[in-house]
Structure 1
Amino acid sequence: MTEIPEHLLKRAQAARDKAATDEPAAEAAAEPAADAPAGDSRIPEALLKRSQAAKASKAGGDAPAAEPGGGVAVADKVGALVTAAPAGGGVPVGAGPGGHTQRLLTVVKSGSIQDVKATPVDKVHTWPHLLAAEFVAALACTAFTFIFSIFVNAPLLQLANTNATPNPSKAPWYFLGLQEMLTMFHPMVAGVTLPGVGIILLILAPFLDRNPSVKPEDRKFATSIMTVHIMFWAVLVMIGSFFRGPGFNFVLPWVDGLFFEL
């Protein structure tokens, strides 16, 4: 059984004393209302019956019976009630005016409704996650190029002779794809139309494929476009590099030799 705080007991005692002093005036005011006709009374019938029962009980010398499970309900917070036992079987200890045994002491606010947990996102900051990796990759490429240049000399040829055109005359390897297309199509088609269409498709690709996923299995359209582009260009470069001989004719490198220079 929980003990009732002393200040609550004092407050209840003061309320009982005040109720005892106000009872004669309340009874005098209630008698005319009880004697008035039912049709003219504005007091609810339930209150009239309760008042008559209280007067009859007092006239008979009996103390008002405590309500079933009577006690003082002390609310530490909303939803938590502690019941105190009545003293001597009479009016419950700590009862308020009119014998009420329940009161609300305070209302405790609920917890914060703001979500303080960070929502996980599939993103990272550019610094240091991206720039640090790119910086390390740049250092590795620079170191590899420096070491490679120490042990391998650049494949420089003799001085150019304006009276002798090298045969075969090939463009740098990264342009051999265009030179290879010149053997298959008209120069306007091979040099302007097809490269222009490829560039336009690459520009429109982000607008045609709006999938926000960064996983290759979810980007089938973009992956297919890039794969076809790389394979098409790689095949043309390999043919122009290893399968073209004198006069830019088709040769087999394992039969006629390799006509490729960086």
Structure 2
Amino acid sequence: MTEIPEHLLKRAQAAREKAAAESDAPADAGAGDSRIPDHLLERSKAARASGDGAVAVADKAAAVVASAPAGSVPVGAGPGGHTQRLLTVVKSGSIQETKAAPVDKVHTWPHLLAVEFVAALACTAFLFVFSWVVNAPLLHAADFNKTPNPSKAPWYFLGLQELLTMFHPMIAGVTLPGMGLVALILAPYVDRNTSNKPEDRKWMTSMMTLFLMFWAVLVIIGSFFRGPGFNFTFPWRDGIFFEL
């Protein structure tokens, strides 16, 4: 068992004497101060008599640092006789973060315009090769006495022509397209999400997907499943009545 250093014994003795002096000081001050009510003085005396209050606190504080007889460990000491402990070690640093937050934005030129220019060149080259390979001659002059059967609109208008077979011309040609245009106008005001990620725009992505699927189905039906008289046919049975 290690001996307690002399300076620690002196410090413990000084702490006990200071605690004893502080426990007696409030009683003397209270007795000479006439501003303290009598019932508070009586309560203070009762607390000192019962061992509570400042006296008990002082005794406990002194007991923690009190030393045991020579050759033993102080009361309240930890492993190895140590009366101090380390709570934690923190890395020193600045409280404010001085590093700028990264921004996921780039300049329009050259990052965006360069890609768009290359895409435009690729589309132009594809159209040039396609028009060179595919033969698409002009038909004979129109004859109002001989109407082609079936008479189909260009493929990008076949969706509207297909709607005419299902609804009244006022509904298929005016009401439904008008509602679509109004929906496109109101879309920026309905969805105010500024994110450019599809997973953050689920509602608008779903609406656009439904619209494209609906229109694609109408175009496919009008192109491959409509025969003479614009009647419904099966292309694998009656053939395909479609021209580019």
Q: How does 1:9-88 map to 2 (within 5 A)?
A: none
When structure 1 is superposed on structure 2, of 194-203 and 142-151 the one drifting more is 142-151
Q: Alpha-carbon deviations, 1:83-103, whole Å to 9, x = none?
A: xxxxxxxxxxxxxxxxxxxxx
> Going by fraction, where is strand more abundant, 1 or 2?
1
The CA distance in 2 between the partners of 1:123 and 1:198, in whole Å, is 33
State whether structure 2 residue 210 is matched by structure 1 residue 223. Answer: no
The CA distance in 2 between the partners of 1:121 and 1:132, in whole Å, is 21
Give the structure 1 partner of residue 85 of structure 2: none
- What is the CA distance between 1:222 and its match in structure 2? 0.7
**TM-score normalised to structure 1 length:** 0.54
- What is the CA distance between 1:128 and its match in structure 2? 0.7
1:156 is paired with a residue whose SS is coil
State whether structure 2 residue 217 is matched by structure 1 residue 232. Answer: no
- What is the CA distance between 1:127 and its match in structure 2? 0.7
AA aligned to 1:181 is L
AA aligned to 1:132 is A
State whether structure 2 residue 162 is matched by structure 1 residue 180. Answer: yes
Distance 1:170 1:206, change over 3 A: same
Larger radius of gyration: 1
- What is the CA distance between 1:114 and its match in structure 2? 10
Q: Alpha-carbon deviations, 1:36-61, whole Å to 9, x = none?
A: xxxxxxxxxxxxxxxxxxxxxxxxxx
AA aligned to 2:101 is T
State whether structure 2 residue 241 is matched by structure 1 residue 248. Answer: no
Q: Alpha-carbon deviations, 1:5-31, whole Å to 9, x = none?
A: xxxxxxxxxxxxxxxxxxxxxxxxxxx
- What is the CA distance between 1:215 and its match in structure 2? 1.1
- What is the CA distance between 1:250 and its match in structure 2? 0.4
AA aligned to 2:138 is L
The CA distance in 2 between the partners of 1:222 and 1:258, in whole Å, is 36
The CA distance in 1 between the partners of 2:238 and 2:174, in whole Å, is 33
Residue 182 of structure 2 is aligned with which of 197, 200, 204? Answer: 200
When structure 1 is superposed on structure 2, of 136-145 and 146-155 the one drifting more is 146-155
Gaps of 5+ in 2: 1-93
The CA distance in 2 between the partners of 1:243 and 1:224, in whole Å, is 27
- What is the CA distance between 1:157 and its match in structure 2? 2.2
Give the structure 1 partner of residue 113 of structure 2: 131
The CA distance in 1 between the partners of 2:182 and 2:105, in whole Å, is 29
- What is the CA distance between 1:139 and its match in structure 2? 0.5
When structure 1 is superposed on structure 2, of 184-193 and 122-131 the one drifting more is 122-131
> Going by fraction, where is helix more abundant, 1 or 2?
2
RMSD after superposition: 1.8
Identity of aligned residues (%): 76
The CA distance in 1 between the partners of 2:134 and 2:169, in whole Å, is 38
The CA distance in 1 between the partners of 2:240 and 2:188, in whole Å, is 41
- What is the CA distance between 1:155 and its match in structure 2? 4.3
Residue 141 of structure 1 is aligned with which of 97, 102, 123? Answer: 123
- What is the CA distance between 1:219 and its match in structure 2? 0.5
1:147 is paired with a residue whose SS is helix
Gaps of 5+ in 1: 1-110
Q: Alpha-carbon deviations, 1:126-150, whole Å to 9, x = none?
A: 1111110000001111111112222
2:148 is paired with a residue whose SS is coil
The CA distance in 2 between the partners of 1:151 and 1:241, in whole Å, is 22
The CA distance in 1 between the partners of 2:137 and 2:197, in whole Å, is 41
Q: How many residues align?
A: 150
Q: Alpha-carbon deviations, 1:228-253, whole Å to 9, x = none?
A: 11011000000000000011100001
Residue 122 of structure 1 is aligned with which of 88, 98, 104? Answer: 104
AA aligned to 2:208 is M
